[in-house]
Amino acid sequence: MGSFPRFHEDKGREISVNISRITALPTPKSPPKRGLSNLTKPQLFGYKIMLKIAVNGACGRMGARIAALIIEDPQLKLVAALERHGHSFLDKDVGAVAGCGETHVKITSTLNTHADVLIDFSSPESTVAIAELCAMKGIGLVAGTTGLSTQQFEKIKHLSRQMPCLVSPNMSVGVNVMFNLAAQMAQMLGKDFDIEIIETHHRFKKDSPSGVRPQAES
């Protein structure tokens, strides 16, 4: 099916790799109607697709919230909630952590079912391990984990040749706009200006400063 830019960084750099095979669906009798409504949910040839989503780091603040949002969306299906070995919530219903009631999806340390996409908000070591799994199984990866070293980032970048992959130290639209503006500002001001970037977080954030400042500085 040709090539498609599948590894994305927040600064817009991308690698073109072969797209994975998509299961063919029957061709519709008439072309799908055009309009914004067709772009609101995942579709292929006019047919709506229910994406199967797995979440790694499901007991963290971001992971739990993402799990809850997936459960609330009728177009998405949460199929797995992953956590590290030895976590106290293993074998419990993820709904108890996400605050959305019983989901019949238990928290596990291994991925035992098929997923179309895996969303990862965990630790750098866990992100690399889950990226290797996604590459092996052909699962799309969305990683928002911060604190990745250069070596870990390059490892994931290499693995992205085998899977759709998006990596960003911050998934906020506002922060990604700031990345773009910071790059423009640095280019316009030149080397004669001494710029300092200060990053602050709430006291519960484990990796403070996180990957936002290094990304803005680069």
Catalytic residue set: 201, 205
List Cβ neighbours of 95 (8 Å cut-off, separation of 6 or more): 71, 101, 102, 103, 105
> CA 67 to CA 205: how far, in whole Å?
19
70 DSSP assignment: H
Phi then psi for 15, rounded to 5 degrees?
Answer: -120, 135
Place of tokens 């299961």: 23
List Cβ neighbours of 35 (8 Å cut-off, separation of 6 or more): none
Q: Label the pairing between strands 117-120 and 107-108.
A: unpaired
36 DSSP assignment: G
106 DSSP assignment: B
What does the DSSP assignment read for 152-201?
A: HHHHHHHHGGGS-EEE-S---HHHHHHHHHHHHHHHHH-TTS--------
